[in-house]
Amino acid sequence: MSEPVRSTLGSLPLSRLAEPLLRRLSELLDRAAPGKGWRDLAQRAGSRGRVRLSPLDLEQCSLKVLEPEGSPSWSLLKLLGDRGCTVVELVEFLQALEHTEALQCLSHSGSLIGSPENKLRICIQPQPQNLTVGDALVLECGAVGNPIPHYQWFRNGFPLANGSKNVYMVTYVDVEHQGTYWCHVFNDREDQDSKKIEVVIGRKAMAVECAEEDLSDLQKPADLQEQSNDRPVATDKVALLIGNMSYWNHPQLKAPMVDVYELTNLLRQLDFKVVSLLDLTESEMRNAVDEFLLLLDKGVYGLLYYAGHGYENYGNSFMVPVDAPNPYRSANCLCVQNILKLMQEKETGLNVFLLDMCRKRNEYDDTILILDALKVTANIVFGYATCQGAEAFEIQQSGLANGIFMKFLKDRLLEDKKITVLLDEVAEDMGKCHLTKGKQALEIRSSLSEKRALTDPIQQTVSSAESLARNLQWAKAHELPESRYLEFKCGVQIQLGFAAEFSNVMIIYTRIVQKPPEIVVCRAYVTDFALDLDVDPKEANKGTPEETGSYLVSKDLPKHCLYTRLSSLQKLREHLIFTVCLHYEYPGIEDTMDERKEVNVGKPLIAKLGLHHGFKNNNCLQTCCMANNPFHNQIESSPVATKYYVPSHCQPNSCPGIYHPNHICSDSVRQPEACSCNGTSRILASRHEVQNYSPPVEKSNVPVETTDDTVELEFLLSDNLRFSKQQ
């Protein structure tokens, strides 16, 4: 079938293909079965010496799922076109993938390529449908022309209500929807009808009686093998990642920032829509979970990861917000099982909870939560970083930190395996680690009966309301202000740019683009931020991103700028307004000149979702409680002030739900443990505090592991901090 395409299109560059055709190809690739998707096309194209695709190129394509109408396949096709790939080459790639639908799409549209853009032409024709009652009907018509074409769908000669878009959809069809369909396409100058197609609606097969021997046939291996060939799919994939470090009344943590950042990058490669947030208060955590729940729907894969302080009482796990009082109990925390129940109500295809926190008992919280029973479903997977009653640890060296769980999880997360199998292998890897043997072991709980994996493909209903809502909501949380240029009266022009490190952390950078030759010194600062953001002037306008505490995106930022890191964007109540102050000097004049411009960039990233408001929805909080014993608040004193290794995701050993400033647990006093893997000494730090603790006077930023682009820091953690594994 390739010859008609070859003869019609010749060596036409991909960049010359009409946009509707590219859109149609993108949709086919986005929804393709395993082995025929956009990543497979990228691999085929990248094998050509002339068309080189880097890992960064593929990551940029993957991130397009965060945009309202973003498509990784669309981004890839545009990228291939920009690099000179021709239609003939695309056909060869698609033939190698045996992607017949995409090849047919190209073949049917070949005669339209190269036609004048102002001429009205239909390039995507509706296709006949054979459906049964209860199926979804989706008809599509695509046209090009100038002015922009309009659409009206007809059935049996009558115009259809809600049929004025290029896609006509009925989510649940009955026999009344059977008939002859076509689309009338028109603009101010011309009009044209699509081809007429038949939609046939059949009744669902009725149940029949089966003999016992018929039922036994269902158990045959051949039948089971045939069923296993149908790989599960997700209607979408969404993830919420929360890392709490800067606690107000409890020990500070280091690893959650690194762990959340690395998991974000990995999940995006698996086409998850990811919101990553650092340091949330109780109300912010509850509102973030509520926003996450809005994005779940039937068949969606939902993943929630939490790293921070936590505890477990009576089988229920609790995540501790950064503003939790000292001491805290369940009313101040988020109950994981309650969130899971709300996720199940959305009829999700897969629910994954990854909890990187301690699970020690909170002896000072005797509240028993009476929760409604979870539904009996086969879609729940818990990955606990440690066993019940145990601690979770970080590994630290020179300020660098990774959680033990994430250290091993990130090496396997992209593997195409059932999620429980993958976690089992992570558990085995952790079990070989000298450093945590006997102290921390991964615990997996699952009700998963299907072979579902994080790598499963996404098959969305075209233009469904749920899909659009998810894309729009996720895009809100990732919308950066556009880079802009500011002109000053003295003739200086500066660039004001923005980069996202997390969904609530943004980098602002200023760069001098142009200055008159008579100006000898010139610098542009940002200042006068809203009090909500609590920006320390001493940590703003630095010469390198690292000086601001941003080690994660430094390689992606332009050089020779001044950088300012804004965290806690979820606290922003109004538009982000700040001042750009230009300082410059003329030769022979001692006084420094000064010009200022106020800039309003709206609400960037997560600020648009208004997580700072009071609880939007108390679903995560409303439970029936019963207190068995009075709430304890006794404090024992100890003169010991020695600093031992610092636990990370929990509270003191004998009192895991409360922190006593002067209390040391006798069974917790241990010497720092070191491992000499690769000749490098390192300290194992538990997410559990065994020292005199007082909240730091001022927060300090810690270096963290970066993406693959940041080679030096990647080397430090991947090589210098890699564990020796027992053979």
Residue 440: pLDDT band with limits 50, 70, 90: confident
Q: Residue 191 is encoded by which pair of tokens? A: 């009009």
Supply 26's token pair.
């993108």
- Catalytic residue positions, numbered: 309, 358
Instruction: Say which CATH topology domain 484-603 has.
Output: Immunoglobulin-like (2.60.40)
What is the rounded distance in angstroms from the CA atom of residue 495 to the CA atom of residue 511?
Answer: 5
Give SS3 for 716.
helix
Instruction: Compute CA distances 329 → 191, 198, 354, 439, whole Å.
Output: 68, 63, 22, 25
Mean pLDDT for 494-512 is 92
Q: What is the pLDDT of residue 264?
A: 92
By the 10 Å C-beta count (0-12 exposed, 13-18 middle, 19+ buried), 630 is classed as: exposed
Residues 6+ apart with CB under 8 A from 224: none
Give the span between the Cα atoms of 690 and 670, in whole angstroms.
9
In whole angstroms, what is the distance from residue 304 CA to residue 352 CA?
6
pLDDT band at 50 (very low <50, low <70, confident <90, very high): low
pLDDT at 455 over 70: yes
Token pair listed for 717? 């953690």
Torsion of CA 207, 213, 218, 219, to 10 degrees: 150
Amino acid code (one letter) for 535: V
- pLDDT bracket for residue 527 (50, 70, 90): very high
Over the chain, what is the mean pLDDT? 75
Would you state the pLDDT for residue 57?
Answer: 79
CATH topology of domain 236-472: Rossmann fold (3.40.50)
CB 618 within 8 A of CB 656: no
Condensed to tens digits (0 to 9), the pLDDT of residues 390-438 reads: 777 777 655 557 788 888 999 999 999 999 999 999 999 888 888 777 7
CA angle in degrees (0–180, nearest 5) for 604-243-353: 110
Most confident range, picked from 112-116, 170-174, 248-252, 358-362: 248-252
pTM: 0.58
Contact 548, 565 (CB under 8 A): yes
Structure tokens at 88: 């003939």
Superfamily, domain 115-207: Immunoglobulins (2.60.40.10)
Q: Contact 193/185 with Cβ under 8 angstroms?
A: yes
**CB 269 within 8 Å of CB 59:** yes
Q: Report the C-alpha gap between 484 and 329 in whole angstroms.
A: 47
Starting at the earlier edge strand, list the strands of the sheet with 350-356.
273-278, 236-243, 300-307, 350-356, 380-384, 443-446
Task: Name the token pair of 491.
Answer: 């003739």
Helices (H), 245-372: 255-269, 282-294, 336-344
Across the chain, which distance is largest between two alpha carbons, in Å? 103
Compute the distance between CA of residue 358 and CA of residue 313 in angstroms, rounded to an integer.
Answer: 12
The pLDDT, as a whole number, for residue 680 is 30
Q: How far apart are CA 153 and CA 138, in angstroms?
A: 12
Confidence (pLDDT) at 89 = 80
> Is residue 202's pLDDT more than 60?
yes
Q: Are 121 and 109 in contact (CB under 8 A)?
A: no
Q: Place 263 in a pLDDT band, splitting at 50, 70 and 90.
A: very high
Place of tokens 């499963």: 456
Between 102-116, 219-233, 553-567, 658-672, the lowest mean confidence (pLDDT) is in 658-672
**pLDDT at residue 655 greater than cutoff 50:** no
Residue 224's alpha-carbon distances to 215, 230, 414, 631, in angstroms, are 13, 11, 27, 55
Residues present in the chain in total: 727
Same fold, 115-207 and 484-603: yes
pLDDT of 595 above 80: yes
CA dist 164 → 7, 136, 167, 186, 193 (Å): 35, 18, 8, 11, 14
User: Per-residue confidence at 204, pLDDT binned at 50, 70, 90?
Assistant: low
Average pLDDT over residues 35-57: 79
Amino acid residing at 212: E
Cα–Cα nearest to 384, from 402, 409, 364, 411: 409
pLDDT band at 230 (very low <50, low <70, confident <90, very high): confident
Evaluate if residue 182 carries a pLDDT over 90. yes
Contacts of 616 (CB under 8 A, 6+ apart): 286, 287, 290
Evaluate the omega torsion of the peptide bond into residue 696 and state whether it is cis, within 30 degrees of 0: no
Q: Residue 574 and residue 156: Cα distance in Å, rounded?
A: 53
- Please state the rounded mean pLDDT for residues 500-508: 92
Residue/partner pairs of 549-553 with CB below 8 Å, 24 or more apart: 549/701, 549/702, 550/501, 550/507, 550/701, 551/703, 551/704, 551/705, 551/706, 551/710, 551/713, 552/257, 552/261, 552/501, 552/704, 552/706, 552/707, 552/710, 553/499, 553/500, 553/501, 553/507, 553/706, 553/707
Within 10 angstroms of residue 122's Cβ, the number of other Cβ atoms is 21
More confident residue, 116 or 292: 292
Q: Residue 570 pLDDT > 80, yes or no? A: yes
Between 69 and 361, whose confidence is greater?
A: 361
Q: How far is it, in rounded angstroms, from Cα 316 to Cα 263? A: 25
CA torsion through residues 403, 408, 410, 416, sign: negative
- Take residue 649 and report the two structure tokens written for it: 């995701």
Sequence spans of domains, the chain: 1-114, 115-207, 236-472, 484-603
Strands 367-370 and 393-397: unpaired
- Its CATH class, for the domain covering 1-114, is mainly alpha
Confidence of residue 724 (pLDDT cuts 50, 70, 90): very low
